[in-house]
Amino acid sequence: MRYDLNLLPVFVTLMEERNVTRAAARLGMTQPALSNALARLRLVLHDPLFVRERYGIQPTPVALDLAPVIAEALAKIDDAILGQQEFDPAKADRLLTIAPNSYVEFALMPAVVARLRDVAPGIKLRLVPYGNDLADTGVISGTTAMALGRLVDPPDNLIVQHLMDEGLACVVRADHPDVGDTLTRDQYERMKHVNVLPPGRMRAGLFQALQQRGVKREVAVSVTHFLAVPEMIAVTDYCATLPSLICRRLAHDPRLRILSAPVDLGTFPVDMAWHVRYRHDPAHRWLRSLMTDVARELQSASATVAFQDR
């Protein structure tokens, strides 16, 4: 039997989106055209494939069995075609959508943008919110090229690569009346703190590290982005515990002082993830390499910056 291969991307997109409207928009089709394609798929495969529910569609058992096989077949076709293409960053003219969490956006992306300006000026970036769930970023459906942050239990259609490990340090105002050149555990526990709330399941990281070490912390205010922290610290006697690369950026602010944490709070991982369809995309491979190089260089430079009590 001869199959219409054009129907297979429709099947995969419906599996990933679980919504006819979103699937049609992603494929650049009208909803009637997508419905027609789905009807042909049902005829060929002798199964309804998807059933309507209140908030979208759900795959049938047959569709669930077919999904990994069809996705793998399409990925192999993509690999074969994209692997033959060449990529010249200096001549590239392309828009890439990336979903960094707030830490990556503040600490890493400025250096990435500067590198692109120098070596690939035609590549444009569109940064979208990391959100409360990976599905919100668009990386699971492939509409977003890459997600950057701390990834927990990613789905099977994502490839995850460890980018770096990041440590933590503390920020207080430069003329804090009770803190000298070192920050003791007793001072840390007596102070009030500014906390940055990362998205979704990432909220437990610092809280868990403090709990595991038996360190108490009174949070006076929680903010949604690192950009709010220096303004809060500069006008209070509060303390903030932040990633080391963020602290390196804030060290240039004369209103602030960067100190080592009173106890070793360990490190947290930073990952990058992308849809399997980008595995052999030459432009994407080049971008992943650039991200890795920039992260390595930033960490190397950060290691040479001594905090005040070191």
Q: Note whether 7-82 and 94-164+269-303 share their fold.
A: no
User: Looking at residue 204, what is its pLDDT?
Assistant: 57
Is 4 a residue whose pLDDT tops 70? yes
Check pLDDT > 60 for residue 202: no
Instruction: Provide, rounded to the nearest whole percent, the portion of the chain with pLDDT above 90.
Output: 46
Domain boundaries, the chain: 7-82, 94-164+269-303, 168-266
Residue of 78 and 22 predicted with greater confidence: 22
What average pLDDT does this structure show over 14-30? 84
CATH class of 7-82: mainly alpha
Third-level CATH fold of 94-164+269-303: D-Maltodextrin-Binding Protein; domain 2 (3.40.190)
What mean pLDDT is predicted for residues 55-69? 87
> Reduced to 3 states, what is the DSSP secondary structure of residue 231?
helix
- Residue 7 dihedral angles phi and psi, to the nearest 5°: -80, -25
Each residue's pLDDT tens digit, 160-176 = 999 999 999 999 999 99
- What distance separates the 2 farthest-apart alpha carbons in the chain? 81
Can you tell me the mean pLDDT for 176-196?
A: 94
* CB-based contact 104:149 (threshold 8 Å): yes
Q: Each residue of 118-146: pLDDT tens digit?
A: 999 999 999 988 866 676 677 877 778 89
What stretch of H or E contains 26? helix 20-27
* Residue 107 contacts residue 249 (beta carbons within 8 Å): yes
Q: What is the DSSP string of 102-154?
A: HHHHHHTHHHHHHHHHHH-TTEEEEE----SSHHHHTTTTTSSSEEEE---S-
Tens digit of each residue's pLDDT (9 = 90 or more) over 275-286: 888 887 888 989
Q: Check whether 218 has a pLDDT greater than 90.
A: yes
Q: What's the rounded mean pLDDT across residues 67-91?
A: 74
Count H helices and E strands in the chain, helices first.
Answer: 12, 12
Provide the pLDDT confidence category of residue 25 given band limits of 50, 70 and 90: confident
Least confident of 43-47, 199-203, 301-305: 199-203
| Average pLDDT score over the chain | 86
Residue bearing the bigger pLDDT, 22 or 239 = 239
Into which CATH architecture does domain 168-266 fall?
A: 3-Layer(aba) Sandwich (3.40)
pLDDT bucket at 21, cuts 50 / 70 / 90: confident
| Residue 146, SS3 per DSSP | strand
